[in-house]
Chain A
Amino acid sequence: MNLAKEQKLINKQLKASKKARLKRMKQDGILTPEDIKYNRKKAFGGFAFPLFRFFILFGLCFVILYPIIFMLSTAFRPSQQMSDPSVVWIPKSLTLSNIKDVWEVMDFTGSVLNTLELNIISSLLSLITCSLTGYGFARFKFKGKKFLFAIVIFMIIVPPQITTIPIFLQYTYFDLFKIPTLLTGDCINLIDSPITMYAPALFGCGIRSGLFIFIFCQFFKGLPKELEDAAYLDGCNPFRTYIQIIIPNAKSSFLTVFLFSIVWYWNDYYISSSFFTKSTTVALQLKNLNITLSQQLFDGASVSTRQIIVWLEAGCLISILPLLIMYIFLQKYFVEGIERSGLGGA
């Protein structure tokens, strides 16, 4: 804090001395007309550009915040006021009933707890495996490394939609090496069990794991090698080195990947909709909100989006609220973490 203040003071002094010098130079007549022109241009630019920048940024921020402002504006207004032409942004009266209704329709408490459990466990598992794999790729030489890394890149590019159906079949009649058949006499149906999310995460094939491996690999490549060499000399084996030396040094990158992982698991509906028959996660509830709303609030009558928009927006709001709160508190790690970690050096 103090340092920043000092810096500011120094900057101020510098500016003042610069101005004084310019003035003196003008009086002495050292400046050529070109110099004067250049200085004037610079002064104009110094004034005009921030203004221009302000307008651009203001406009773009507005574009981004527009839907969120809209969400806030509609989520708390009574439904009748949606078709009231005299209400544009600020509703005439505020109500919490939309939120309450949606909360019930989405079974929000249960969904959130369920989603959180799924999210955190999957993210932690995928964090462990992806970091291990990334470290393996970053620091060790072995045969076929290039080929295997190409597969990592391929994993980033192939959309999950392609592989979901075969994986679905693998889960429905889960029979790896015939072990389940030997134990229980039949293959196991894993659909609807959270293992369908945990297992791929544990084995480094969860949601966007390829990207995480890539990020970790880039990040570990940037760490100084001397750290580990010192540990090796002291007789540490690579796994212990990884746990005791690398992890403490890579905290920020771990946190960044963990946060992104949480966000993507929270938002995922495609994979969970193929492996869960009931909508038990927030994203699935939100995806089906249109249908469940008309069933539970309008007795199954078909309704236009305009009629239920307040509930839809209220649902949106409570679904992204946990993410938003997390983002506000940890925004530093989202924005600066990724700069310092992997992607920065790529």
Chain B
Amino acid sequence: MKNKNVKNNKNIKSKKKPSYERKKSLYGYGFIALWFVGMIYFFILPLIKCFRYSFYDTKPINGKMELTNFGFHNYINAFTTNTDYLQALVSVLKDTAIKTPLILIFSIFVATILNQKFRGRTFVRSVFFLPVIIATGPVIEIINGNMSSGGYAGGSEQFSSMFQTDLVSQVLEFIGVYGISDKLEMAIQAVTGQIFNLVWNSGIQILLFLSALQNISVSAKEAAQIEGATSWEFFWKVTLPYISPMILASVVYTIVDSFISTDNPVMQIVLSKASEWQHGYSAAMAWIYFAIVGIVLAIVALFVNKFVYYEVE
């Protein structure tokens, strides 16, 4: 039956070319073929291997990983014997939870300002994107002064200390506010102390928001103006909905960026274990971390997605 069909088809096909759609989809495969091969060899395969390591005690012998002692012990050990790990995990989560909204608000604020017309805009813009170029490299570590714990404070620490030396409370006293609650003062100091990191970490987000702001249609602006909207109302009712898809993108980017940066404590533990040749253990810790990052991302994305306004096309 099948044979017959094939034969019949062959007869027809020899006269008729494959359909346009089919041909196009084949070309589609052609375009992604190179990446597909590489993705299997350089991404999926290592990922699976890494996942396998996490269940074993590993020992690199002669280029092959010798895997012994199958089980979940690596995962259990990560929580029970290594007390640093749990602590680092909590601190990273906390840090990200504080940092993300700050970076978001800050970058929206800066992007709105940079979107206005004023003299020297090109200069200011290029200054704001400078961190994108510099901050990914080892230079930032020297700038941050954490190359070694020696008595020297790098640029960032020096800068923060400029603010932190009780400047905040002095300013408050100058204005006439005395005895403000310690907690509030601590909070203000935490923010001012973080200003350097805040500015240096939000280059990409500013870029994203700026591009979104430039996509707001002129007609929307005109309509709002005719209706007599103040710029405050305009921001909340027009700008924010328009850039909300980018808010989602930036939230995801910020969270991922903060989770995978090499100087967060969990990553450091994972990397140090890997350099001690405990690959299985480090892989297990990395996968736990990954699962948590994934869950956090999913929750946040779902939550933010509720407020995202998509223009109906």
Contact = CB atoms under 8 A, between A and B. Distances in A.
Contacts of A264: 136
Interface string B38-81: 11011111110110010000001001110000000000000000
A63 B136 contact: no
B133 A66 contact: no
A304 B35 contact: no
B199 A64 contact: yes
Given A136-B31, A204-B39, A286 B138 contact: yes
Contacts of A142: 25-26, 28-29
A323 B35 CA distance: 28
Contacts of B103: none
Interface in A146-184: 148, 151, 155-159, 161-167, 169-170, 172-173, 176
A13 interface: no
A91 interface: no
Interface in B261-303: 262, 267, 270-271, 274, 279, 283, 286, 290, 293, 297
A320 B148 contact: no
Contacts of A289: 142
Interface in A41-92: 50, 53, 56-57, 60-61, 63-68, 70-71
A132 B139 contact: no
A335 B115 CA distance: 12
B156 A67 contact: yes
Nearest to A132: B31
B118 to A, nearest CB: 7
Given A70-B155, A165-B274, A286-B137, A170 B46 contact: yes
B195 interface: yes
B102 interface: no
A37 B260 CA distance: 53
B136 A67 contact: no
Interface stretch (A15-23, A105-113, A116-124, A305-313): A305-313
B54 to A, nearest CB: 11
B145 interface: yes
B32 interface: yes
Contacts of A64: 127-128, 130-131, 199-200
B113 A202 contact: no
B46 A166 contact: yes
B142 A312 contact: yes
B10 interface: no
A205 interface: yes
Interface stretch (B84-92, B183-191, B206-214, B234-242): B206-214
Interface residues of B, number: 91
A343 B34 contact: no
B50 A346 contact: no
Contact of A60 (B25, B39, B65, B110): B110
B307 interface: no
Main secondary structure of the interface of A (DSSP, over half): helix
Contact of A56 (B53, B113, B156): B113
A343 B143 CA distance: 29
Contacts of A169: 49, 60, 63-65
B23 to A, nearest CB: 9
B215 A163 contact: no
A163 B195 contact: no
A203 B34 contact: yes
Contacts of A50: 118
Contacts of A238: 24, 27, 30-31
B195 A203 contact: no
Given A163-B50, A309-B152, A338-B211, A140 B43 contact: no
Contacts of A290: 147-148
B290 A162 contact: yes
B212 to A, nearest CB: 8
A4 B210 CA distance: 23
Interface stretch (A24-32, A93-101, A247-255, A265-273): A265-273
Contact of B113 (A53, A268, A345): A53
Contacts of B25: 140-143
A266 B152 CA distance: 27
Given A50-B118, A306-B152, A283 B46 contact: no
A172 B62 CA distance: 10
A263 interface: yes
A305 B214 contact: no
Given A162-B50, A305-B148, A346-B249, A135 B31 contact: yes
Contact of A133 (B32, B45, B215): B32
A334 interface: yes
A239 B30 contact: yes
Of the listed residues A130, A145, A305, A327, the one surrounded by the most CB atoms of chain B closer than 10 A to its CB is A305
Nearest to B110: A60
B251 interface: no
Nearest to A326: B133
Nearest to B196: A63
B21 interface: yes
3 interchain residue pairs of minimum CB distance: A203-B38, A140-B28, A136-B31
Given A161-B260, A203-B35, 11 more contacts: A66-B159, A132-B31, A145-B28, A159-B267, A163-B46, A165-B50, A203-B42, A204-B38, A286-B139, A319-B139, A320-B139
9 contacts: A60-B199, A63-B195, A67-B154, A129-B34, A133-B32, A166-B47, A204-B35, A238-B27, A343-B211
